[in-house]
Amino acid sequence: MKKIQLGQSDLQVTSICLGTMTFGEQVDEAHAHAILDRSLERGVNFLDTAEMYSVPARAETYGGTETILGHWFAKNPGARHKVVLATKVAGPSRGMPWVRNGSPDLTRAEIIDACHGSLHRLRTDVIDLYQIHWPARHVPAFGGVYFDPEKDLPVSSIHEQLEALATLVKQGKIKAIGLSNETPYGVHEFVRLAEQHGLPRVATVQNPYCLINRTVENGLDETMYRLGVSLLAYSPLGFGLLTGKYDASGTTGPGVPEGRLAKFESMRKQRWGRTEALEAARRYNALARANGLTPTQMALAFCNSKWQVASTIIGVTSVAQLDECLDAWGQTLAPELLAEIDKVRWELRDPAQ
């Protein structure tokens, strides 16, 4: 499996990253370890997690995914050196009082303390890629569309956050830094201040990117291209909508297949649960089948074919799902099919924005 350099860092990762937010909620530890074993066996060298996982976030499972990974590393002493390990510090609490006692900020001290907690749970001495999960400042993320200046409250500056991350780099506790759920402005500011003050330079941004949410292409892609920052695409299958499993049943009612949208009402209330998102997914899934592909194959091949994407983060709940996703990776899409995909996007835009 080919390796890609992340930004201007020294990290070399596979074009597929195993996301782990299902571990500890939908996937128990034994099955999570089986998925990790299989992923490593098939050549995936990139793992992504976060302190707030698993998802949906609950006080009872906070840090649980990192703990499951830590147990796997302890069981497999050689595994830690075979993978690039990424995790994230949660942004301001926003409805999660169990995260830093509901802090509305992300201060220097909070970043450093969160990193120490992740290191302990992961049973490692160093995190390869440490990411800010969402900005401390107000941004229209997680389904928000419009920036509202009235919601822009005083919080720690980007400069202060970079200084905290610089401390961790100097201490050898993290190797590189990244952002998540960021905007073009945020990426520019992180890079500008890093270069101006000799602080760590952002290597990656982890944002949603899939057939039903291509908002990355509305300015963020140019920002990342010109600044040499790599995109880690999350939710390439649109929380399961782009696998086709909900096409006939929808996400509620009798006969609904297992999945995050079917299982968790809180997920259905978010962007992936919008009626428009399901309708758009059905269009794309039908297009895939008409071209001799499964919906999963087309959705993953779409991400893999785009110059914007460095590595695509896949989330699975079984070894069989993992193999299906990995088997889809050699698939290419004809120019004519890509043109048809763009026609649908022009009509329906980004319903899961």
Q: Which residues are catalytic?
A: 53
User: Residues 121, 66: contact at Cβ < 8 Å?
Assistant: yes
Q: Give the DSSP letter of residue 292.
A: T
| Site of tokens 């079917």 | 262
The single-letter code of the amino acid at 208 is P
User: Residues 55, 26: contact at Cβ < 8 Å?
Assistant: no
Contacts of 52 (CB under 8 A, 6+ apart): 62, 88, 90, 96, 99, 133
Taking Cα atoms as reference points, which of 275, 281, 278 lies closest to residue 296?
281
d(CA 151, CA 138): 6
As given in the structure block, the two tokens for residue 23 are 């571990």
As given in the structure block, the two tokens for residue 339 are 């043109």
Q: Report the interhelical angle of 275-290 vs 295-305 (nearest 10°).
A: 90
As given in the structure block, the two tokens for residue 126 are 């160093």
